Copies of this chain bind each other. A is one copy, B any other.
Amino acid sequence: MLTTVLRPVRAGNAFEETVERLLQAIKLGAVVEKLPPERELAAQLGISRVTLREAIRALQEAGYLDVRRGRYGGAFVTYTPPPPRQEDLRRAVADMGTDDLADALTFRMAVECGAAQVLAATASAGRLSRERREELRRRLQEVNSASPDDYRRLDTAFHLAIAELSGSPLLAAACADARLRVTDLLNAIPVLQRNIEHAAAQHEAIVEAILAGDTDAAGRAVAEHLEATAALLRGFLA
């Protein structure tokens, strides 16, 4: 308990944290065309423009961004996901360590199941507006009809939508954080049509359970889905 409560107050310095955040936003596909203007983005991230600019420059030099001045300028995303290679996956796992990997997968399992259950409970109580139900269905439809190129991005959007629709910013942040921690791994797994189809059935089960207000089924459906992903990971590592 002491070790948990007296854990580090901050992760690292602002510069590194910002680079990491922006990089993940790019790899996640959350930022498609260009970043918001520096002044605006700095405010959103709660850092100074100087620090943000250092981070942007680092990403520019690493080839993720193309920065252009003047009106209608900005930091344009030049990154396109590289073709997945098993070597990348091994390196990504080696980089984070097997303990941290298990931690990240467990954490993701817990928060995403929790988010789905919360959302199902909301639906069960009849407090899920038509707009939110439709957004959920829309995200489902999008990911299930995605081409392999767009799949990861739309899959991320689907999962994060569940978290955000729960109505709890803290929970949404936790789910985003969990997803960020496994992005590199997921991006290194080849997207096979067969896997997409398999995942599609699970996505449907999740949405169905949520809309039916069945918390147990929703949690179980998410658990099964994430377990399948984890199994896929293990399979590629074996």
**Residues of A participating in the B interface, judged by any CB pair closer than 8 Å:** 1-10, 14, 17-18, 21, 24-25, 28, 30-31, 36, 41, 44-47, 102-104, 106-107, 109-111, 113-115, 117-118, 121, 156-157, 160-161, 163-164, 166-174, 176, 178, 180-181, 215-216, 219-220, 223
Contacts and interface: CB of A to CB of B under 8 A. Distances in A.
A111 B2 contact: no
Given A5-B21, A21-B6, A28-B5, A171 B44 contact: no
A6 B40 CA distance: 11
Give 10 closest A-B pairs by Cβ, nearest first: A110-B114, A8-B46, A107-B170, A106-B168, A114-B114, A5-B30, A9-B17, A5-B25, A4-B176, A103-B168
A47 B9 contact: yes
B2 A30 contact: yes
Contacts of A30: 1-2, 5-6
Contacts of A6: 21, 25, 30, 36, 41, 44-45
